[in-house]
Chain A
Amino acid sequence: MKQPSSAQVLAACAAVALLALWSTVSFRAASEELAGPNADVYKIGEQAARFQELASALPSTGMVGYVSDAPAGQTLAAVLYGGAQYTLAPRLVTDQSVKPAPEWVIGDFSKPLDVVQFGKNRGLTLVKDFGNGAVLYRNQVR
C-alpha cells in the first residue's frame, strides 16, 4: 500500500491532537455535576453519620436483621437497604425474616412513623430510636 505523504501524516496527527483536546475540555465542562457537591445522589456517604450511634450499639460482627417502611421493589428501598448493608458491614445486614432470626434488627425509615407499633407488628421490641429514621429493635421470637 502506498505510504502516506508527510502532509497527510502531519494532518492526521494535528487533527487527532486538536480533537482530543476539544474532547477533554468538553468532558471537563460536561462533568461539572459529577465533580460537584451533589455527586452522591443516593447520599450513601451520609449514612455513616446517620448510623454511627446505632452501629456502636451492635456487636462488631454477626448477622443483623433489617426492616424498613420503603415499599419493596422501589429504588428507595434498594438504596436504603444497600446503604445500610454497606455502612454497617462487616455485620451482615439481612432481611428480618431470615431463619434463624437475628437477635438484633435495625429499622431504617424514610419518613416519621410510629416505630413502636411498626416493630410490634413484626414481633420486634424497640431498644432505642436513634433519630433520623435509624432504630434498633430486638427480636421477640427467636
Chain B
Amino acid sequence: MLEPISILLALLDGFLLVRALDPVRNMQPRWAAVLFQTALGTGVGIGVTSIIYFILDVTGAASPAAIFAADIILIVALAWRWFRTRSAGDAPFSSHVTAPGFRWTWLLALAFGVVLLIAWARLIQMASALPVGEWDAWAMWNLRAKFLAGPGGAWRYALSPLLSNSHPDYPLLLPAFIARVWKAGGAADTLAPAVTALLFFAGLIALLVSAVALLRGAASALLAGLVILSTTSLLVWAPSQYADIPVAFYYLGAIALIFLDASPAAAGRWVLFWAGLCAGFAAWTKNEGIAFLVLILAVFIVFTFWKRRAGVTGRAGWLLAGAAPGVLLTLWLKFFLAPAVDPLVRQGASGLARLQDAGRYAEVAKGFFSNLLNLGSGVTHPFILLAILAILLRWQMEERFQLPCLIATTGLVLVFLSYCGVYLVTPYGLAWQVQSSFDRLILQVWPSFLFVFFVLLRSVADSAPATVAKSAVTRKSPIRSAKAAAAGKSPAGQKVK
C-alpha cells in the first residue's frame, strides 16, 4: 500500500513544482496547459524524488520516514506557494489563437482515444506478463535499484566494479526512483518498476500531445498522438523497464520547452530553466543523455549568440541553472563514485583505429536503415503517415520557431551522430551491439523528431483566418491580429513561411 502512495507523492511533488514555476501559465488551450504541467510534473517528480533519495541513501539517512517526510515537506511548501500565487491572482490575461474550428477534431479525438485504449490495454497485459522486465531491466536497472534500496551501505554495490557486466557507471535516475519506492514500501516487488515504465510512456505521449496542442492546436496534437502510437517498436519497448523511454521523455521535454520559450505567451525565464532541468535529468538517466545535455547546451548557446537574441547570457544562464542538478550529480558519479570501467571508455587510442574500417560505417548505416524500417510495419509505418501529412497539409514555419527549430534539429542530429560514433569505435562486437540497441537509440530521439515535425507542419486548424482572444502579451486587437493572420503572419506579428 505504501508503494503506490510514495509514487503518487512523487507525482504530486512534480506537479506542484511545475505549477509553482509554471512554464505555460498564460498559454491556451487550458486543457493542453494542464496536460503539459501534469506530464512534465511526472518526469520532474520522478527526477527530483530520485535525486533526494539518492542523497539520503549516500548519507545514510534513507528510511521510509525520511522519504515520506521529504515528500510532505516539499508538498506543503509547494502547495503553499501555489495557494499564494492563486490568491494573488493567476495570470491576468491570456493569449491564444483560437483555431478556426476544424470541425472533425472530435473525430480525431475519438480515433486517438480508441487507439490509446487498445495500445494501453495491451501494454498493461505485457507488463503483467513480464513483471521483471526485459534483460537490461533485471540485469542492470532493477538490480542496481535493489542495491540502492538495501540496508546500510549496500548502495555502494550499485557502483561496484565487480558488476562489470551491469555497467556500474551508468547514471542512476531510474534505479534511485525505484529504490525509493521499494524503501518506502518495505519490499522490492515488481510493481514499482512496471508502474514507473508505464508512467514514463504515458507522460511521453501526454507531453507530445500537449506541447503540440499549445503551439499548433488540438487537431495537430491529436495527429501527433496517432503517429507516435503507430510506432510499434515504441509500444514493444514501453513496458520493458529500460531507461530509453525515460530518456526520450526528458529529450522531448527539453526540446518542447525550447520551442515554448519562443511563444509570446510563455512564462519567461522559467521555461528555459525547465528545459535545462529536463536536459540535466536526461544526463542523470543514461549515458546518451550526457551527450544530449552537452550538445543541446552548446548548440543553444552558439545559435543564440549567432542570432544575437536579446539577453543571450541570461537565457543561457537559466538553461544552465536548470541543468545544474543533473550535471553536478553526473560529475559526482562519473568522477568520484563510479570511475569508468566500461571498455568503451578505457580502450584509449585503439578505438580510433576502428574509425578507418569502412565496413563498420556500412554496418552502422545498414543497422540505421533497417531499424528505421522496424519503427512500424507495412502501410501503417509512421513514415507513411508523416508522408501523407507532409504532402497534403504542407509546411508552415513561423519566424519565431526558426531559432528553436535550428537548435532542436542540429542538437538531435549531433546527438544521433554521437551514437553512431560510439558504434564505430566500440570494442564490443559491432553486429551484436547494433542489433541489440540501435532500435532503442532511434526511439530516444523519435518523439522529439515528431514534435519538431508537427511544429513545422501546417496547422490542421489553419485553413480559415484565425481569431485572437483577448491578449495582454502582444497588446494587439483581435481585428489587427486576425488581419495579420489572414495576411500570412502569426498573431505576434512574425512572418509565416
Residues of chain A touching chain B, judged by Cβ–Cβ distance below 8 Å, are 1-6, 8-13, 15-28, 30-31, 34-37, 39-40, 42, 44-45, 60-61, 63, 78, 81-83, 85-86, 89-90, 92, 94-95, 98
Q: Across the interface, which residues of B come within 8 angstroms of A39, CB to CB?
A: 126, 129-130
Given contacts A23-B232, A89-B157, A94-B163, 18 further A-B contacts (CB under 8 A): A9-B392, A11-B392, A15-B392, A16-B226, A19-B384, A20-B112, A20-B229, A24-B119, A31-B126, A35-B125, A35-B128, A39-B130, A44-B132, A81-B165, A89-B150, A90-B147, A92-B160, A94-B162
Q: Which of B126, B128, B147, B219 interacts with A92 by CB under 8 Å?
A: B147
In whole angstroms, how far apart are the Cα atoms of A19 and B107 in the complex?
14
Q: Which of A25, A31, A95 interacts with B235 by CB under 8 Å?
A: A31
Is there a chain A Cβ closer than 8 Å to B66's Cβ? no
- Complex A-B: 20 CB contacts under 8 Å: A3-B458, A3-B462, A4-B392, A4-B394, A4-B458, A5-B463, A9-B392, A13-B108, A20-B227, A20-B380, A26-B378, A30-B232, A60-B150, A61-B154, A78-B165, A85-B163, A86-B146, A90-B149, A94-B163, A98-B162
CB–CB A34/B118 < 8 A: no
Q: Which residues from 342 to 399 on chain B have a C-beta closer than 8 Å to any C-beta of chain A?
A: 376-380, 384-385, 388-389, 392-396
Measured CB to CB, the nearest residue on chain A to B162 is A94
In whole angstroms, how far apart are the Cα atoms of A48 and B282 in the complex?
32
Nearest CB in chain B: distance from A27 CB, A: 5
CB–CB A15/B388 < 8 A: yes
CB–CB A23/B377 < 8 A: yes
Q: Across the interface, which residues of A come within 8 angstroms of B396, CB to CB?
A: 1
Q: Across the interface, which residues of B come within 8 angstroms of A11, CB to CB?
A: 392
The winner among A12, A28, A60, A61 for most chain B CB atoms within 10 A is A12
Nearest CB in chain B: distance from A67 CB, A: 15
The tally of residues in B whose CB lies under 8 Å from a CB in A reads 66
Is there a chain A Cβ closer than 8 Å to B131's Cβ? yes
In whole angstroms, how far apart are the Cα atoms of A94 and B126 in the complex?
31
Q: Across the interface, which residues of B come within 8 angstroms of A98, CB to CB?
A: 162
5 smallest CB-CB distances across A and B, nearest first, come from: A90-B150, A23-B380, A89-B146, A12-B392, A39-B129
Measured CB to CB, the nearest residue on chain B to A36 is B129
CB–CB A22/B458 < 8 A: no
Q: Which residues from 137 to 175 on chain B have a C-beta closer than 8 Å to any C-beta of chain A?
A: 138-139, 142-143, 146-147, 149-152, 154, 157, 160, 162-163, 165-166
Binary interface profile of B, 122-136, with partner A (CB < 8 Å = 1, else 0)?
100110111110010
CB–CB A34/B108 < 8 A: no
Q: Across the interface, which residues of B come within 8 angstroms of A15, CB to CB?
A: 385, 388, 392
Nearest CB in chain B: distance from A110 CB, A: 18
Knowing A3-B462, A82-B139, A92-B157 are in contact, say whether A25-B118 is a contact too (CB < 8 A): yes
In whole angstroms, how far apart are the Cα atoms of A28 and B125 in the complex?
10
Q: Which of A22, A36, A63, A90 interacts with B380 by CB under 8 Å?
A: A22
Is there a chain A Cβ closer than 8 Å to B236's Cβ? yes
Q: Across the interface, which residues of A come within 8 angstroms of B460, CB to CB?
A: 9, 12-13
Nearest CB in chain B: distance from A95 CB, A: 8
Q: Across the interface, which residues of B come within 8 angstroms of A5, CB to CB?
A: 463
In whole angstroms, how far apart are the Cα atoms of A82 and B167 in the complex?
13
Binary interface profile of B, 2-40, with partner A (CB < 8 Å = 1, else 0)?
000000000000000000000000000000000000000
CB–CB A6/B463 < 8 A: yes
Knowing A12-B388, A35-B122 are in contact, say whether A90-B146 is a contact too (CB < 8 A): yes
CB–CB B223/A16 < 8 A: yes
The winner among A8, A13, A82 for most chain B CB atoms within 10 A is A13
Q: Across the interface, which residues of A come within 8 angstroms of B122, CB to CB?
A: 27-28, 31, 35
Q: Which of A4, A9, A30, A90 interacts with B157 by CB under 8 Å?
A: A90
Knowing A82-B138, A86-B146, A90-B150 are in contact, say whether A20-B226 is a contact too (CB < 8 A): yes
In whole angstroms, how far apart are the Cα atoms of A10 and B393 in the complex?
10
Nearest CB in chain B: distance from A64 CB, A: 11
Measured CB to CB, the nearest residue on chain A to B136 is A82
Q: Which of B125, B232, B388 interacts with A16 by CB under 8 Å?
A: B388
Measured CB to CB, the nearest residue on chain B to A22 is B380
Q: Which residues from 64 to 112 on chain B have a C-beta closer than 8 Å to any C-beta of chain A?
A: 102, 104, 107-108, 111-112
Measured CB to CB, the nearest residue on chain B to A81 is B165
CB–CB A23/B376 < 8 A: yes
In whole angstroms, how far apart are the Cα atoms of A69 and B395 in the complex?
62
CB–CB B111/A20 < 8 A: yes
CB–CB B226/A85 < 8 A: no
Is there a chain A Cβ closer than 8 Å to B196's Cβ? no
In whole angstroms, how far apart are the Cα atoms of A82 and B157 in the complex?
15
In whole angstroms, how far apart are the Cα atoms of A2 and B248 in the complex?
35
Knowing A12-B393, A85-B139 are in contact, say whether A90-B132 is a contact too (CB < 8 A): no
Is there a chain A Cβ closer than 8 Å to B467's Cβ? no
In whole angstroms, how far apart are the Cα atoms of A5 and B392 in the complex?
9
Nearest CB in chain B: distance from A41 CB, A: 9
In whole angstroms, how far apart are the Cα atoms of A136 and B27 in the complex?
63
In whole angstroms, how far apart are the Cα atoms of A61 and B150 in the complex?
8
In whole angstroms, how far apart are the Cα atoms of A100 and B122 in the complex?
48
In whole angstroms, how far apart are the Cα atoms of A24 and B231 in the complex?
9
Q: Across the interface, which residues of A come within 8 angstroms of B129, CB to CB?
A: 34-37, 39-40
Knowing A35-B122, A89-B147 are in contact, say whether A19-B139 is a contact too (CB < 8 A): no
Nearest CB in chain A: distance from B38 CB, A: 23
Q: Which of A6, A19, A92, A95 interacts with B385 by CB under 8 Å?
A: A19
CB–CB B138/A44 < 8 A: yes
CB–CB A86/B227 < 8 A: no
Q: Across the interface, which residues of B come within 8 angstroms of A34, CB to CB?
A: 126, 129-130, 236
